[in-house]
């Protein structure tokens, strides 16, 4: 049995938490620019964008800042980033800004 990829784990994770999951979403910001998201998850009035960074390297603070700016432009809830691993600076920034960082291990814990 092959290990589940982050995207598959994420779909199962969010559905288990009661979210509706939309994959490969394109949204326009108020300025008319189009943004591509890996997922958009919804539960009640809560709408959160999800970006998946399934890389062999660590996700750094610049990526987290970029995602934060993009979520603000879209005027949606705080973003969720799923990655293989995150730098300490990325974790610190995310903590200050209310951004959720999840790894495959985090997702597997609930499943």
The domain ranges of the chain are: 6-110
Determine the topology of domain 6-110 in CATH: Trna Endonuclease; Chain: A, domain 1 (3.40.1350)
Quick one: average pLDDT of 42-49? 95
Cα–Cα distance list, 30 to 72, 79, 100 (Å)? 11, 18, 24
SS3 track for the chain: CCCCCHHHHHHHHHHHCCCEEEEEEEEECCCCCEEEEEEEEEECCEEEEEEEECCCCCECHHHHHHHHHHHHHHCCCCCEEEECCECHHHHHHHHHHCCEEECHHHHHHHC
The band of 110, judged by pLDDT with boundaries at 50, 70 and 90, is confident
Q: What pLDDT score was predicted for residue 111?
A: 78
Q: What pLDDT score was predicted for residue 3?
A: 55
Quick one: average pLDDT of 78-99? 97
pTM metric for this prediction:
0.92
């Amino acid at each position: 049995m092959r290990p589940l990829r982050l995207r598959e784990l994420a779909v199962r994770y969010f559905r288990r938490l009661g979210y509706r999951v939309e994959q490969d979403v394109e949204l326009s910001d108020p300025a008319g620019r189009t943004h591509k998201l890996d997922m958009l998850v919804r539960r009640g009035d809560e709408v959160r964008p999800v970006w998946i960074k399934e890389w062999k390297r660590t996700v750094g603070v610049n990526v987290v800042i970029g995602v934060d700016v993009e979520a603000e432009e879209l005027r949606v809830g705080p973003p969720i980033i799923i990655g293989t691993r995150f730098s300490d600076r990325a974790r610190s920034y995310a903590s200050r800004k209310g951004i959720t960082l999840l790894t495959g291990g985090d997702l597997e814990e609930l499943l």
